[in-house]
Structure 1
């Protein structure tokens, strides 16, 4: 329902929203296909990306990953366990807080992530102005 202060969306705005959602889904489909061809799941890729891309440090906790993945913590624990078995990540006890478990990328996880992230960057660049991310769309 439109707010009293704003007029209803125009046809052009609906078209823009439709195009934006189409391009999001197209990118998601690309991502799903490329990571599966590389032998990992879309969630494994996102987990690796969120560990590497966590602001201000080189690790993330299970709770932080659950938030970023919009998943339940127990599901993320299972995801981390599977990634550990593949040699992508390792759990480490926190240095400052021994109760905290940090999830760190291992060299194999870094290698897989770097390759897949490059493919994703190329795909994002091909979308042009639909997604404007300053560090990607130069």
Structure 2
């Protein structure tokens, strides 16, 4: 399978750079808002992301540590430590796999689900604003 070719840097227009700059700015604004919301609820941004990925995992409300590490784009051992901190806070629990007893499943507890729902609700106005802003014509790369 061949990789798509990287665009030639010389082919990028001033408008491409402006769009990318604006996108990164809006992304950073969203992340800053999210960080503040998480802290208001007594969580770190990573703890919230873990809860969000458990609540939003496709087809189920649990995940393995490996799946969570992928979603968080984190190292396995760092994700294990994060799960342990969330477990100590009463947000999640680890259980032996149903099909494979060697595998550990991370399950969202009621307290974690409530926090995830509250924090996610606080993100909705900014997400709506971003969706409207980023769906404007002209947000693609120039030919």
Deviation at 1:130, TM superposition (A): 3.3
Which protein, 1 or 2, shows the higher relative CO under an 8 Å CA cutoff with sep ≥ 6?
Answer: 2
Secondary structure of 2:94's counterpart equals: strand
Give distance in 1, aligned partners of 2:20 and 2:79: 32
Deviation at 1:58, TM superposition (A): 1.5
**Deviation readout 1:13-58 (Å, 9 max, x if unpaired):** 1111111111001101111111012111000000001111112222
1:122 pairs with one of 99, 120, 125: 125
Question: When the two structures are aligned, how many residues end up with a matched partner?
Answer: 130
Give distance in 2, aligned partners of 1:46 and 1:34: 12
* 1:31 corresponding residue in structure 2: 34
Unpaired segments ≥5 residues, structure 2:
1-5, 136-143
Secondary structure of 2:63's counterpart equals: strand
Give distance in 1, aligned partners of 2:64 and 2:71: 11
* 1:55 corresponding residue in structure 2: 58
Q: Using structure 2 for the length normalisation, give the TM-score.
A: 0.84
